[in-house]
Amino acid sequence: MKMMWSKFLKRFKEHFFLYTDFKHITLVAIGYSFLYFAYQISNDAGVMATRLASNSVSDTLHKILPKFNSLFLHETFSMAFYYSRNAIFLLFPRRVIFGTFTLATLILTRAFFINLTHIGMPEEARPIWSEATFGGDLFFSGHVAYAFLLALIFWDIKILRYIFIGISITLGASSVLGRYHYSIDVFAAPFIAYGIFSICKYIKKRASTLGGSLRH
């Protein structure tokens, strides 16, 4: 028992020692500040997109699939994802900086995209009113993209990968069945998330290489 406890403490110290590093704490604070800033921009962009929204358009899957009241499912998964995200990030100190910056980049990208084309919500759809969803902010689905991005960030941790992929798929299905999004909003989201992830990963790699060169 004593040996097991010693191993646990050793792993705990190896994992969380970064939170005793002032530079790391500063970068974490900057990352969360950037994330907060991104959400504020996204909120303003959502208000604008809703105000400028025009008429709805037809959707192939909406014609094929029956409408299903998935509001409870959609909101439950959304809230669980939103409130667990910060805790999960902080539990992995080596990923929290990259995670917050990548997620903020995705949010800012979506804030730009939703105001490029002002298409109204699908017919008979009811917007999910919240601090970050207004009704006219459709392309692309933030719920699907954010969950899929977290799956990419924690890809090597199977349980988290499968959980976030499952959340992404569930939110995508509920968005189409509940008519909260057009199908293109949902199907495009994972590809855009992967693109943002790849770009941020490349920037991180280049920054690390540049930092190493400057130290030498």
- Predicted confidence (pLDDT) at residue 26 exceeds the cutoff of 90: yes
pTM: 0.86
CA distances from 8 to 12, 72, 164 (A): 6, 40, 27
Give pLDDT, residue 134.
57
> Per residue, what are the HEC states of the chain?
CHHHHHHHHHHHHHHHHHHHCHHHHHHHHHHHHHHHHHHHHHHHHHHHHHHHCCCCCCCHHHHHCCCCCCHHHHHHHHHHHHHHHHHHHHCCCCCHHHHHHHHHHHHHHHHHHCCCCCCCCCCCCCCCCCCCCCCCCCCCCHHHHHHHHHHHHCCCCHHHHHHHHHHHHHHHHHHHHCCCCCHHHHHHHHHHHHHHHHHHHHHHHHHHHHHHHHHC
Angle at 184 between CA 181 and CA 187, to 5 degrees: 100
Residue-wise pLDDT tens digits, 98-140: 999 999 999 999 999 999 988 888 876 665 655 445 567 889 9
pLDDT in tens, 168-204: 999 999 889 888 899 999 999 999 999 999 999 999 9
What band does 20 get if pLDDT is binned at 50, 70 and 90? confident
Average pLDDT, the chain: 84
Q: Rounded CA gap, 166 and 83, in Å?
A: 17
Please state the length of the chain.
Answer: 216
Amino acid 45: pLDDT: 92
Quick one: which of 117, 85, 87 has its CA closest to 104?
85
**pLDDT score at 83:** 75
pLDDT at residue 213 above 50?
no
Contact 107, 38 (CB under 8 A): yes
At 28-82, the pLDDT tens digits run 999 999 999 999 999 899 889 988 888 888 999 999 999 888 877 777 777 777 7
